[in-house]
Structure 1
Amino acid sequence: MSPPIRLGVIGLSSSGWAATSLIPPLFDPLLSDKYTITAVATRSETSAQASATKYSELTGHKVKGYYGENGAKDLANDSEVDLVVVSVKIPDHWKAVKPAIDAGKDIFVEWSPGRSLEETAKMAEAAKAKGVRTIVGAQSSHSATIRKMKELVDSGKVGKVISTNLVRTSLVLPSVLKFIGKTSTEDSAYALDINNDATLLTILTGHHLTNLSYILGELKEVSATTAILFPNVQIVDANGKATGEIIKKTAPDQVILTGTLGGRHDGAIVTVHIQAGAATGRFLWFIDGEDGVIEVKNRPENGPQGVFVGFNEMKLLLNNEEVGLDQREEDRLRNTGKAWLEFAKGDKGQYETLEHSVVVWRVLDAAFKSIADGGRKIAVA
């Protein structure tokens, strides 16, 4: 048996995505012999020591704690770290990723890995030149729903694909999606500034484009429109209670992207509508073909948010009849854990990489150009 992959986690504090979603699956028996945490890095000495203490107890061995301006670099240069996990705000990704690549360490970085096509491409090129493996936190292609959708399309159940239409309306809850719509928590207020590149277009639209490309292939042209319908955002505390602070928002809370597919589904029409601020949350996705239609929608038991990217499986129908989802032992790991499982397989694993993230970012880059040009159709370079 191969020795476990030793992780150094940047951004692993007492709360946040790393603490609640990325790291917990690693302690499942399916993964516990494949990974171990050896170092953490956070901004402050206090949080780094608290995190190191916690994970020393959970792993049964000493976990080092790095912090401050040089914390990411010190962690990357630790000889007991094989894979550097970057789970910090998008504007800080490159600063955290570069030392890891320079040190020749494999890297995990959350979606979106860069603030732009140029930055993501720069990461991918640097990783390739250094010969390191990369994994990107766009894990929803591991969902049983997405796998079954791809199987139905590839097996010809709907015939020639004519169009696909996806609508997601996101509510703002204290625990998730804290930066869109009418309210925001203080720690997510940075995403209200469009210059920080953590928007509905870069994050949620990017996640759904990753799934779409996995099932149907890449877009060859795109047009896009955005709007800000809730420009004055109320800051709320962790319990959703208003603090009285109002922040002016410059990032969009409405995104509509249209385009056409290339490749094996050449010419099929694509529509993606992501919005915030509505009274209820919903998720609907149709793939229409000459011989049938696939429909995906949120299950009531998922709650009003119906988070699809990270966790919950959806209701899948083929020609109005529900399709059962194939259940596997590893499904208990959810999408984040299943991605870790695939990465541990080495060359045989299937997971998102920086190289594929560049492909998705080309679509987003074309969308940005279209928005700047009044919604004109732009070819995906």
Structure 2
Amino acid sequence: MPPIRLGVIGLSARGWAAAGLIPPLLDPALSDKYTITAIATRSKASAQASVARYSDLTGHNIKGYHGEDGAIDIANDPDVDLVVVSVKVPDHYNAAKPAIEAGKDIFLEWSPTRNLEEILELAEIAEAKGVRTIVGAQSSQGATTRTVKGLVESGKIGKVISTNASLILPRETGLGGKTAIQQIAYALDNNSGATLLTMPVGHYLTNLSHVLGNIREVSATSAIFYPDVQIIDASGNPTGETIKKTSPDQIVITGILGGEHDGAIVTIHAQSGPSAARFLWFIDGEDGTIEVRNRLENGPFGVFATSNEMQVLLNNVEVELDRREEDRLGNAGKAWLEYAKGNEGEYQTLDHSVAVWRVLDAALRSIALGGQKVPVISA
């Protein structure tokens, strides 16, 4: 089977694509399954630099596109099978739509879009075009999630009656607090799709739905304690710019699970805080409790649970993670491995992400209604 030819939008010197998304594809386990044929970045200089770097790493020539038409050029390139979109969330929709309309398979980093309306439109077009989709919410590939899911399904804790999570994102990440790095200042806008709710909570909900199923009803409240945010540069120096923040830095969601664990209570508290990153997740059953907690060495983004394995305890006793040989590829690499299996692979799709975005949308509607209970609208 010939390798899947990738056109990558957003593969520059820095960012998630360069740091975590593309490196696994150079591993021998994946290098015969994928090949990069085109790259598009914002500027001509960055496109030229990326083309030179990855042409050298892959041993073959790669096309380079740039500017506002870069996404369209990738979409129309006959040597591209799968378009990979790894840019800022507000730009996802415009980068992905031309590719899907051209019948290209698509990879979209989480969050796929800024809102439910955009993701529903892309999913509808993808279905009409027969396009395969994959979304970069890879926590379901982790040994941590595999272990937790196995414990639940084995009946170790009996019937699930509740689950609750606490997520603290350090303020230096820019999603809360009095200052924000200039590079991610766009996340201060509640309509950006890159907020405390849509990013860390969105990643967690993807994991939650993989382990326990979807939420059918939510109520939510939020607060903004730092409405005026001072913008700083990468060195931490003030730029002199102050932005009015509209995205919350405190969110509380309560809900009820549907499906197999129908009726189980869900609580989520997400916040920006002065302390180190914290992720605590409890699943309580009639016969026991599963606890998941991030390790401090996971760093400030440990709450995303996408690339770092965590500590899992069953009834206060740490359990050994269900590790496999392919875990060396990381969660992003394992998602690529599954996608290459075609219909037999297990990975997050646009349809999975629609289900998560329906929960996020219900939470946003509940916040607007002062915390009222809101049903999660199904397809």
TM-score when normalising by structure 2? 0.96
Percent identity for Structure 1 against Structure 2: 67
Choose from 318, 329, 334 the match for 2:330.
334
How far is the alpha carbon of 1:78 from its aligned partner?
0.7
Taking only aligned residues, the RMSD between alpha carbons, in angstroms, comes to 1.4
The alignment of Structure 1 onto Structure 2 pairs a total of residues equal to 377
Which residue pairs with 1:31 in the alignment? 30
Which residue pairs with 2:348 in the alignment? 352
Q: Indicate conservation of the 8 Å contact 2:114/2:191, yes or no.
A: no
Which residue pairs with 2:92 in the alignment? 93
Task: Tell me, yes or no, if structure 1 residue 76 matches structure 2 residue 75.
Answer: yes
Name the CA distance, whole Å, in 2 between partners of 1:306 and 1:363. 22
Task: Tell me, yes or no, if structure 1 residue 229 matches structure 2 residue 225.
Answer: yes
Q: Indicate conservation of the 8 Å contact 1:193/1:249, yes or no.
A: yes
Name the CA distance, whole Å, in 1 between partners of 2:227 and 2:247. 9
**1:92-138 Cα deviation digits (max 9, x unpaired):** 11111111112111000011112111110111110010001000011
Q: Indicate conservation of the 8 Å contact 1:220/1:379, yes or no.
A: yes
**1:126-157 Cα deviation digits (max 9, x unpaired):** 00100010000111111101111111111111
Q: Indicate conservation of the 8 Å contact 1:171/1:276, yes or no.
A: yes
SS of the equivalent of 1:250 reads coil
How far is the alpha carbon of 1:305 from its aligned partner?
5.0
Name the CA distance, whole Å, in 1 between partners of 2:60 and 2:23. 17
SS of the equivalent of 2:246 reads coil
How far is the alpha carbon of 1:32 from its aligned partner?
1.1
Name the CA distance, whole Å, in 2 between partners of 1:138 and 1:367. 19
Name the CA distance, whole Å, in 1 between partners of 2:224 and 2:37. 43
How far is the alpha carbon of 1:307 from its aligned partner?
4.4
Task: Tell me, yes or no, if structure 1 residue 318 matches structure 2 residue 318.
Answer: no
Map 1:79-228 to 2 at 5 A: 79-173=78-172, 177-228=173-224
How far is the alpha carbon of 1:355 from its aligned partner?
0.8
Name the CA distance, whole Å, in 1 between partners of 2:303 and 2:14. 19
Mean Cα deviation higher: 224-233 or 334-343: 224-233
Structure 1: stretches of 5+ with no match in the other structure: none
**1:260-288 Cα deviation digits (max 9, x unpaired):** 01111111100011110333321110000
Q: Indicate conservation of the 8 Å contact 1:282/1:305, yes or no.
A: no
Map 1:272-287 to 2 at 5 A: 272-287=268-283
SS of the equivalent of 2:281 reads strand
Q: Indicate conservation of the 8 Å contact 2:4/2:82, yes or no.
A: yes
Name the CA distance, whole Å, in 2 between partners of 1:348 and 1:339. 12
How far is the alpha carbon of 1:243 from its aligned partner?
3.7
Name the CA distance, whole Å, in 2 between partners of 1:283 and 1:309. 8
How far is the alpha carbon of 1:179 from its aligned partner?
3.7
**1:197-241 Cα deviation digits (max 9, x unpaired):** 321111111111111111111111000111111222232222334
Task: Tell me, yes or no, if structure 1 residue 365 matches structure 2 residue 364.
Answer: no
SS of the equivalent of 1:104 reads coil
Name the CA distance, whole Å, in 2 between partners of 1:340 and 1:204. 22
**1:345-372 Cα deviation digits (max 9, x unpaired):** 1011000001111111111111111001
Name the CA distance, whole Å, in 2 between partners of 1:289 and 1:96. 43
